Amino acid sequence: IMAFEYVPRGIATKTSSVGTTVIDITESQVAKGSYQIIKGNMQVMTLIDKPQEKRLTTTATESGVLRLNTYAFPGWKVYVDGKETPYSDTNALKLITITVPSGSHEISAQFTDTPLRMLSNWLSLLGMLLLGILFIRIKPVKLSKKKR
């Protein structure tokens, strides 16, 4: 059973037999690789498959549709031959899906910071710096030993 944490908003869910919310997915829908050819005749080679970066090369005899088995969280940007291209996430699992033109192409997807994520990172850094300054400026209290 896959838990509901850390999935994009709008993903298909259902209630499990124990009453928790889980992703509505069958075993046949579980990804078998880093991508899936949805439409068209193309060869795909994976160059990089990291959580924050995907890079593939495609050779297609006709325009087709390729799905990266990666959730479409805010911050993903997809490029075809270095040019940013729109992607779709209208499938039940909110996976990144792109149209691939015919010919040979390099497809890359990068997980980037959104403005909110960047602001949150800066606020976290500022908070850590302030705590560091606070700890440096506070003088340790010396405990006096009572003589008996």
The 10s digit of each residue's pLDDT in 33-66 is 899 999 999 999 999 999 999 999 999 999 999 9
* DSSP 8-state code for residue 4: S
Residue 32 reports pLDDT greater than 90: no
Give 95's pLDDT tier (boundaries 50, 70, 90).
very high
Q: What is the pLDDT of residue 135?
A: 84
Amino acid residing at 79: Y
Contact status, residue 14 vs residue 3, Cβ threshold 8 Å = no
Going by C-alpha positions, the residue among 120, 115, 34 that lies closest to residue 71 is 34
Contact status, residue 96 vs residue 109, Cβ threshold 8 Å = yes
Give the predicted TM-score (pTM) of the model. Answer: 0.75
Q: What is the pLDDT of residue 144?
A: 66
Contact status, residue 22 vs residue 14, Cβ threshold 8 Å = yes
